[in-house]
Structure 1
Amino acid sequence: MSLEFLTIAMFLTLVLAITLGHPLAYTLAAVATLFGLIENGFSIPMLFDLFANNAWGLMNNYTLVAIPLFILMAQLLDRSKVSEALFESLYVVLGGLKGGLGLAVVVVCTVFAATTGIIGASVVAMGLLATPALMSKGYQKELSAGIICASGTLGILIPPSIMMVVFGGLTGMKETSVGNLFAGAILPGLMLAGIYFLYIFIRCNINPELGPPISREEASKYSAAQKWGMTMKSLMPPMVLILAVMGTILAGVATPTEAAGLGSGGAMILALVNRKLNWQVLKEASYATLKTTSMVMMLFIGGTFFSTVFLSMGGGDVVADLFIGSGMNRWTVLFIMMFIVFMMGMFIDWAAILLVTVPIFMPIAMEIGFDPLWFSLLMCVNLQTSFLTPPFGYALFYFKGVAPEGYTMMHIYKGIMPFVLIQLLSILILCMFPSIVTWLPGLFFG
């Protein structure tokens, strides 16, 4: 069989197996096993050696130790109710503006993203906390759903992010180390949050019925000094934790794995200060961490098997020749790669997309002259859309699971569309101004 036929057949088999609804990690490993046997003449010992060496390499990867530590930090923070205190203070501070409660959600989710990095925790927490307040003040259902779902997905982009840890572990390159990815993601993440903020503010000022302000009596209950004090009191604990984690990484004092350990300890202290730390909380947080880490690592193993077999049989060369040998402009090649990632995001989990595409696309991007760090962040921003795009956007179902009665999936689908367009706009901005990604890594790590 020709190499081109095997390459196409391997991808079509993967798509068919995913469509049939089989678990993704096992699907990736099964397809890799089938085509690995075909490629090496059905030599089981040879394939077993290949898989065993890859699995051992994964388990021996020090960078990946940060995954369970960051997940544990997120679980403890979720249970310490840090976001509740912050939302309550911002409810008073920003509520008097048109769209002010929506703006408060964006700010809280941005801070929460920089402390947790777990999408489910952000969307569920804000769905439970903010949706009743938004409904009681007359906010449009579509806009409310869009604000919470889109702002909640900032956690996958703003560091510390599990996606960046996985990406850095996959590439193994100095340019795309976890530290560089964290530094490179800060400005794009804040830029995206800022565009959300501006969009909500402008749209609600054009049409105040979409997001009316709270009453003047409610807004004037507290003096300016009291509002400032409430905000600082609720904002300081998470900001100290963010500086402890990101500050040590950017200053070169700690590796991402060591900083993740520091963050877990800090989250435990915050939970203790808020009187939320007990045996039940520790048990639930540890169990949730074990469950999530196991899922991520199984995907990692299955995806690595798939990419290893695909590259070993020459599939990467086939794809590279298709893109590079076609004579297309390099920006056209970039658009095609980003379009493939975007379309995959509608149906497949972000981790599986990374595991399948990064080993193939990264060499192509470097071959046509793109900066690897910049290209990596483009992919990460693009993958953020996978949480919002129907039919399988995780954030949509997280929100639907906690939304009050009256919210339909159609409300949610309509609400997220402007925010998906904003995310695509942010990719265009990063293409026009690459320094948004590269400036901070250059400043901190040279």
Structure 2
Amino acid sequence: MSAEILTILMFCTLMASIALGHPLAITLAAVATLFGLIDNGGNIEGLFDLFVNNAWGLEQNYVLVAIPLFIFMAQILDRSKVSEGLFDALYIVLGGLRGGLGMAVIVVSTVFAATTGIIGASVVAMGLMAGPALLRRGYDRGLASGIICSSGTLGILIPPSIMLVVYGGLTGMKETSVGNLFAGAILPGLLLSGLYLGYVAIRCAINPSLGPPIPAEDRTATVAEKVMMTAKSFVPPFGLILTVMGTILAGVATPTEAAALGCLGAIVLAIANKKFNVEVLKSSCEATLRTTAMIMLLFVGGKLFSVVFLSMGGGDVVADLLLGMDVNDYVILAIMMAVVFMMGMFIDWAAILLVVVPIFTPIASDLGFDPLWFAMLVCVNLQTSFLTPPFGYALFYFKGVAPPEYTMGDIYRGIIPFVIIQVVGLALMVTFPEIITYLPSVFFGGG
């Protein structure tokens, strides 16, 4: 059977299995086994050797040790309620502006994203804190839903991000090392956060009923009190961000070492907030174990899928198809981004990375694209996968904790403008590559 036919059948089988609701990691491994045996003529021993060698090589990747450490840090911070104090302060500081409370949610989510890197924690925390508050203050339910879901997804992009650690571990390239990816993600993350803020400010300026200011009697604090409230709540998480990111960008520590330092810092913050005890430690460890096991199982399944796909010539088929098109290089880039976007509607981000990175990265290199720039475009694109129906995880996280007044219709309606903003942000990064490459060139001389 030709490589072209095998490639088509393999992808169709994968999509059909996912549509039937089978577990993704098991589906990837099962499809890899089926087509691996078809490709090698039923040589079970040879396929087993291929799987064992690649799975063992994956588990030996030292960079991936950072994953459970960053997850543990996020779990401790989620239980230490660091974000609550910052939200309470910004509630007073920005609440007097049209859309100010919504903008406070975006600012808090941005800071929280830089300390957790886990979407579920960010969206759930904001949903519990801000969902009822926005509703109480008369905010449009669609706008409120869009604000919480979109800003909560910044955690997958703004470092320290699990997705960036995974990407760096997959490529093994100097240009896309975890340090370079962390540096390259800072400005894109802040750009998207700024675009969200601008959108909320403009919408509420045009139509104040969408996000009315809080009454004057609820914001009686003096300027000095506002400054003190903000500083007191902002300094601890910002100090943790500097501890983790500063050591990486300064070259003092590897991402794995910085993650361990971040765990220590998170425990110190939890102790300072009087939220640290045996039960918190136990539940954080259990959640870390479950999440890490899920991610690593996906890694193994995705690795088996990609190695079979590439060994049977699937990568060459896709490369020949795209590179053989008589179109501008950026049209091919747009096609690859569209594929990632569409896959994000149905498949988990980790599985998408494990499938597309081995296929698209060589194509991007053949087109002469900067590997770091291309990697960040993929990661920014994947952030939308948490927002796009039918399987946008952020939408269901929020619905699970939101007051009953928020319907799925409100949530779907609310995220559409923010998905468009994501696409606009992606277009800006294509047009101005320095948004991605500037900071890596400053810190590491790359990009």
Q: How far off its partner does 1:161 sit?
A: 0.2
Answer yes or no: is 1:385 the counterpart of 2:384: yes
What is the alpha-carbon distance in structure 1 between the residues aligned to residue 406 and residue 202 of structure 2? 24
What is the alpha-carbon distance in structure 2 between the residues aligned to residue 131 and residue 315 of structure 1? 46
Correspondences of 1:182-193 after superposition (within 5 Å): 182-193=182-193
Q: How far off its partner does 1:55 sit?
A: 1.1
Secondary structure in 1 aligned to 2:251?
coil
What is the alpha-carbon distance in structure 2 between the residues aligned to residue 359 and residue 413 of structure 1? 33
Q: How far off its partner does 1:327 sit?
A: 2.2
Q: How far off its partner does 1:326 sit?
A: 2.1
What is the alpha-carbon distance in structure 2 between the residues aligned to residue 124 and residue 266 of structure 1? 22
Q: How far off its partner does 1:329 sit?
A: 1.4
What is the alpha-carbon distance in structure 2 between the residues aligned to residue 235 and residue 97 of structure 1? 20
Q: How far off its partner does 1:213 sit?
A: 0.3
Answer yes or no: is 1:203 the counterpart of 2:241: no
1:74 paired residue number = 74
1:58 paired residue number = 58
Counterpart amino acid of residue 281 in structure 1: V
Residues 64-88 of structure 1, C-alpha deviations (whole Å, 9 max, x = no match): 0000000000000000000000000
What is the alpha-carbon distance in structure 2 between the residues aligned to residue 279 and residue 179 of structure 1? 33
1:218 paired residue number = 218
1:411 paired residue number = 410
2:360 paired residue number = 361
Counterpart amino acid of residue 218 in structure 1: D
1:174 paired residue number = 174
2:439 paired residue number = 440
1:324 paired residue number = 323
Q: How far off its partner does 1:224 sit?
A: 0.3
Q: How far off its partner does 1:328 sit?
A: 2.1
What is the alpha-carbon distance in structure 1 between the residues aligned to residue 420 and residue 392 of structure 2? 15
What is the alpha-carbon distance in structure 2 between the residues aligned to residue 3 and residue 152 of structure 1? 41
Correspondences of 1:267-278 after superposition (within 5 Å): 267-278=266-277
Counterpart amino acid of residue 197 in structure 2: F
Gaps of 5+ in 2: none
Q: Percent of aligned positions with the same letter in both sequences?
A: 71
1:334 paired residue number = 333
Counterpart amino acid of residue 153 in structure 1: T
What is the alpha-carbon distance in structure 1 between the residues aligned to residue 76 and residue 201 of structure 2? 32
What is the alpha-carbon distance in structure 1 between the residues aligned to residue 317 and residue 11 of structure 2? 13
Secondary structure in 2 aligned to 1:96?
coil
4+ aligned runs moved over 3 Å, structure 1: none
Residues 213-254 of structure 1, C-alpha deviations (whole Å, 9 max, x = no match): 0111212x2110000000000000000000000000000000
TM-score (norm 1): 0.99
Secondary structure in 1 aligned to 2:106?
helix
Secondary structure in 2 aligned to 1:36?
helix
Q: How far off its partner does 1:296 sit?
A: 0.4
What is the alpha-carbon distance in structure 1 between the residues aligned to residue 334 and residue 201 of structure 2? 31
1:227 paired residue number = 226
Gaps of 5+ in 1: none
TM-score (norm 2): 0.99
What is the alpha-carbon distance in structure 2 between the residues aligned to residue 423 and residue 326 of structure 1? 27
Q: How far off its partner does 1:376 sit?
A: 0.4
Answer yes or no: is 1:237 the counterpart of 2:232: no
What is the alpha-carbon distance in structure 2 between the residues aligned to residue 273 and residue 248 of structure 1? 22
What is the alpha-carbon distance in structure 1 between the residues aligned to residue 199 and residue 320 of structure 2? 42
1:96 paired residue number = 96
